[in-house]
Amino acid sequence: MILLIDADSLIFASCYKPKDKITDSIYYKRIDKCKEKFDGQLINIVTTLEEQYDIKEVRLFSGRSKNNFRKLLSKEYKANRSGEKPPMLDRMHQYVKEHYEAIQSCGHETDDAVAKYWYEIQKVVGRDNVMIVSIDKDYMQFPALIYNYHPKHKKIYDLSEQNAMYNFYEQMIIGDTADNVNYFKGLGKAFAKKYLQGCDSKYKYTKKLYELFKMRYKQKAKLKYIQCYNLLKLRTDV
């Protein structure tokens, strides 16, 4: 099994103190503490998966989303993110790059880089021999093995083509609050499930979604559909 680990969330989490250690600041001010926490998290993930799989290779991915092309598509994209960042964040990105030879994204996001590698590698070694490791729900649009290591989930997803296709088009309806992408405020999973019932191909999903965009955006439907699609769709050609 080849593991493709989106390390961004691990890097971010490594900069924070445990809740029972918080005194004057929620952030670590010493890089050695961050490194120790990151290494521990990574070892725990790999060790857990080694109980079920023969791990042949582990590849890490990280990035800071500088010059992110999605921000050129919409000024609202991730505009809800706080400007504050942990003081050790940049140094931890550098540490992971140098110590673990992490593949860093440029002009796109880390999940795009992971998506590209997954798409290429699974064609060579087989879909069942490569696994994406991340807590990011965006990967659910791929028919892949995905390990979500978050304590509340901690589950391996085995997504079929139909599962993955549905997940993506559902996301276009319900939006992504984390990235400030929401073209149909007030519409949730229950509506999406009912509205998309009977769709079993990209053509049917596209036709059904475009009808919804036309009802909401009238003459701007095509522009809004393309914009939403490109903001949410992970790139495999970066």
Is 70 exceeded by the pLDDT of residue 2?
yes
What are the pLDDT digits (tens) for 145-192? 999 999 888 999 999 999 999 999 999 999 998 888 899 999 999 999
pTM score, whole prediction: 0.91
What are the pLDDT digits (tens) for 21-80? 666 778 888 999 999 999 999 999 999 999 999 999 999 999 866 677 887 788 877 777
Task: Kindly report the average pLDDT of the chain as a whole number.
Answer: 92
What are the pLDDT digits (tens) for 77-104? 777 777 778 999 999 999 999 999 999 8
pLDDT value of residue 11 = 96
pLDDT value of residue 53 = 96
- List, in sequence order, the alpha helices (H) in 28-109: 31-50, 69-73, 89-100
Phi, psi (deg, nearest 5) at residue 75:
-70, -15
What one-character DSSP code corresponds to residue 150? -
pLDDT value of residue 216 = 95
- Spell out the domain ranges in the chain: 2-159, 162-232
Specify the CATH class of 2-159 in words.
alpha beta
Question: What's the pLDDT band for 238 if we cut at 50, 70, 90?
Answer: low
pLDDT value of residue 22 = 61
pLDDT value of residue 30 = 92
Please, what sign has the CA dihedral across residues 187, 192, 196, 202?
positive
